[in-house]
């Protein structure tokens, strides 16, 4: 495990970059409470780094940096959503936010050679980083798909956003192990146990299933079913800048979409049947995904 001093060194330029983002002119929108909280975390980080090795434990620094990034990016993300991702630079801004949300894991790997990020930052924090990346791409694609002229000229970029967004949400859903049911589960706990057995530990996990299923539906509806061949043959420079790094295998929108939406409907009409979750849209998308296309 790295010494605290190495975390201080690695944080130096990152804190300067966050400081510049906080000092940049801002328009209307965004949630000021998150910006204030991120600013406070940044100031605390700077103070701890000045204290150096004597008091600043590296895990504390990394966790605090992660919180600052989450708060500051949430403010900027809220601005983009409030503006409906207006302007040609919106996709670049989305990319920048995703890179920032990826940085806490990169920092952990720089400072902790033999430790996984989840062991340093906590499961909740790492889940939140991936949820925020996936949900940001979901919101961007939700807006972009309505801009038919943009979509016609940027279908590969749209598909890459969908692909990466689904990967982030699937990763978010993978950090906790589903509960394995046995015969000792009491009747009063049956619904809760059913949720945990599906890997649903919060409303956010359920939303991640719905969002990923919906993005798969968009991928099939707007991009077709040619297994994303366009992404494979395109000049890499035209697509690679849409995210910080490749998100691995290309998503099978039809099969993964059916899996996620089926789980969502099953849970909402089962353990959560009396909790107000609507399945109408999910069922309509499932019908589309199950159709046979020539």
pLDDT the model gives residue 230:
47
| Confidence check: pLDDT of 238 > 60 | no
Rounded to an integer, the average pLDDT of 245-259 is 83
Model confidence at 222: pLDDT above 60: yes
| C-alpha span between 131 and 140 (Å, rounded) | 14
pLDDT value of residue 52: 61
| Closest of 26, 122, 20, 129 to residue 80, by C-alpha | 26
Higher model confidence: residue 242 or residue 118?
A: 118
Are 161 and 144 in contact by the 8 Å Cβ rule? The answer is yes
Q: For 152-178, how does the pLDDT look when each residue is reduced to its tens digit (9 = 90+)?
A: 999 999 999 999 999 999 999 988 766
What is the pTM (predicted TM-score) of this model? 0.86
Residue with the larger pLDDT of the pair 233 and 112 = 112
At residue 71, the pLDDT reads: 93
Percent of the chain residues past pLDDT 90, beyond the cut: 52
User: Regarding predicted confidence, which is higher, 198 or 288?
Assistant: 288
- How do residues 100-148 score in pLDDT, each as one tens digit? 999 999 999 888 767 888 889 998 999 999 999 999 999 999 999 999 9
Higher pLDDT among residues 53 and 80, named by residue: 80
The residue among 96, 89, 81 whose CA lies nearest residue 17 is: 96
The 10 Å Cβ neighbour count of residue 45 is 22
Residue 65 has pLDDT above 60, yes or no: yes
Buried b (16+ CB within 10 A) or exposed e, 267-286: bbeebbeeeebebeebeebb
Give, in degrees to the nearest 5, the angle at Cα 219 between 213 and 204: 30
pLDDT of residue 247: 59
Beta-carbon count within 10 A of 52 CB: 11
Cα distances (angstroms) measured from residue 265 to each of 211, 258, 271: 13, 10, 10
Q: Are 164 and 242 in contact (CB under 8 A)?
A: yes
- SS3 label, residue 57: coil
Percent of the chain at pLDDT > 70 equals 77
């Amino acid at each position: 495990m790295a010494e605290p001093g190495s975390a201080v060194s690695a944080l130096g330029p990152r804190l300067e970059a966050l400081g510049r983002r906080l000092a940049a002119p801002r328009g209307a929108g965004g949630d000021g409470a998150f910006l204030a909280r991120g600013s406070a975390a940044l100031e605390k980080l700077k103070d701890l780094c000045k204290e150096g090795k004597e008091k600043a434990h590296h895990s504390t620094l990394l966790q605090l940096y992660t919180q600052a990034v989450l708060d500051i990016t949430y403010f900027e993300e809220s601005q983009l959503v409030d503006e409906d991702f207006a302007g040609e630079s919106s996709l670049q801004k989305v990319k920048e936010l995703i890179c920032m949300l990826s940085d806490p894991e990169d920092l952990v790997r720089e400072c902790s050679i033999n430790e996984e990020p989840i062991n340093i930052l906590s499961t909740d924090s790492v889940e939140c980083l991936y949820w925020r990346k996936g949900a940001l791409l979901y919101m961007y694609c939700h807006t972009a798909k309505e801009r038919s002229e943009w979509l016609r000229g940027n279908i590969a970029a749209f598909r890459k956003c969908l692909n990466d967004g689904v990967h982030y949400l699937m990763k978010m859903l993978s950090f906790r192990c589903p509960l394995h049911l046995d015969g000792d589960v009491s009747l009063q706990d049956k619904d809760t146990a059913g949720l945990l057995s599906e890997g649903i530990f919060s409303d956010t996990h359920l939303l991640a299933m719905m969002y990923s299923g919906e993005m798969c539906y968009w991928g099939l509806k707007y991009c077709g079913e040619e297994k994303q061949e366009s992404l494979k043959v395109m000049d890499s420079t035209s697509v690679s800048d849409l995210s910080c790094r490749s998100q691995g295998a290309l998503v099978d929108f039809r099969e993964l979409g059916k899996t996620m939406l089926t789980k969502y409907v099953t849970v909402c009409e089962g353990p959560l049947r009396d909790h107000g979750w609507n399945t109408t849209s999910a069922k309509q998308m499932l019908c589309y995904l199950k159709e046979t296309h020539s």
